[in-house]
């Protein structure tokens, strides 16, 4: 007597080709829980890879443009006082010599160096900004944490001190490095300023950061623009010009005090 074949044992893990007689639609496939889980997993992995490669989730932060602005010459030096700015924020005033007919040659060199430095800080995690105090007039440099890959950003001159009304070159270099670092932290990375706290500049840039967070929930190009607009006139003036050094502590920190590798990620 003929016997009909036994029904397939679905618990055995074997595949019955008859189940593929009718191909499921793409829409039905996408609705399957396994497929939804796979898609979510793929998105999660992609986000993780992006985070690891960039050091964080990409946000709508503005590009930093380093520029220089000629200031009125009060006759303190034989050169021209020039403000070095990161977008709207002035970080320091340098003296640019007139001799040689270069026409702001020092300012242009510093602008190019800082612009390249910011690109490196954004693309290569672990870089720091620090001071080189081996000479009479200190320099602000960028380097890896182990001291390699050193790049000169700006070296102070006696005329820079004269313009600032400062006699201590190490103190002026520290102030410049603090302002530069905090401006980069805020604009390039959306991070809270931390090195210039307790100064006019530090209070103003911290207010800008807080206002940007309050305006947009996070720091972005749009929230920074809105935050800058709602600052009062004195706060804008402090950020758009270079405030005096009065009230800044006289003490000079160690060489690694201006270290930003932990936050430039």
Average pLDDT taken over every residue of the chain:
79
- pLDDT of 185 over the 90 cut: yes
CA-atom Rg of the chain in angstroms: 28
CB atoms within 10 A of CB 194: 14
Kindly state the tokens that stand for 96. Answer: 């640019």
Least confident of 7-16, 46-55, 167-176, 242-251: 7-16
pLDDT tens digit sequence for 209-256: 999 999 878 899 999 999 999 999 999 999 999 876 655 555 444 444
- pLDDT of 178 over the 80 cut: yes
| Burial readout 89-112 (b: 16 or more C-beta within 10 A, e: otherwise) | bbbbbbbbeeeeeeebebbeebbe
pLDDT band at residue 101 using 50, 70 and 90 as cut-offs: low
**In percent, how much of the chain has pLDDT > 90?**
52
- pLDDT of 10 over the 50 cut: no
More confidently predicted of 88 and 6:
88
> Quick one: pLDDT at residue 238?
93
> Quick one: pLDDT at residue 249?
56
What strands lie across the sheet with 139-144, from one edge to the other?
Answer: 127-132, 139-144, 151-155
């Amino acid at each position: 007597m003929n016997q009909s074949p036994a029904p397939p044992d679905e618990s055995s893990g074997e595949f019955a080709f008859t189940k593929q007689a009718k191909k499921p639609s793409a829409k039905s496939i996408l609705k399957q829980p396994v497929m939804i889980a796979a898609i979510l997993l793929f998105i999660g992995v992609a986000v993780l890879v992006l985070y690891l490669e960039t050091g964080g989730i990409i946000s709508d932060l503005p590009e930093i443009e380093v520029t220089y602005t000629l200031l009125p010459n009060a006759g303190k030096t034989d050169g021209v006082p020039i403000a070095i700015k990161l977008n709207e924020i002035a970080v320091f005033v340098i003296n640019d010599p007139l001799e040689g007919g270069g026409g702001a040659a020092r300012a242009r060199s510093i602008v190019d160096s800082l612009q390249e430095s910011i690109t490196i800080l954004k693309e290569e995690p672990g870089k720091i900004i620090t001071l080189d105090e081996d000479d009479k007039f200190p320099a602000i440099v960028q380097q890896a944490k182990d001291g390699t890959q050193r790049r000169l950003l700006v070296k102070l001159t006696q005329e820079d001190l004269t313009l600032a009304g400062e006699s201590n070159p190490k103190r002026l270099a520290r102030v410049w490095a603090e302002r530069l670092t905090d401006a980069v932290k805020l604009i390039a990375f959306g991070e809270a300023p931390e090195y210039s706290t307790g100064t006019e500049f530090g209070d103003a840039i911290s207010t800008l950061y807080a206002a940007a967070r309050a305006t947009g929930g996070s720091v972005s190009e749009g929230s920074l623009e809105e935050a800058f607009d709602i600052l009062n006139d004195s706060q804008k003036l402090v950020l758009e010009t270079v405030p005096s050094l009065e009230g800044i502590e006289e003490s000079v920190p160690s060489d690694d005090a201006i270290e930003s590798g932990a936050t430039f990620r």
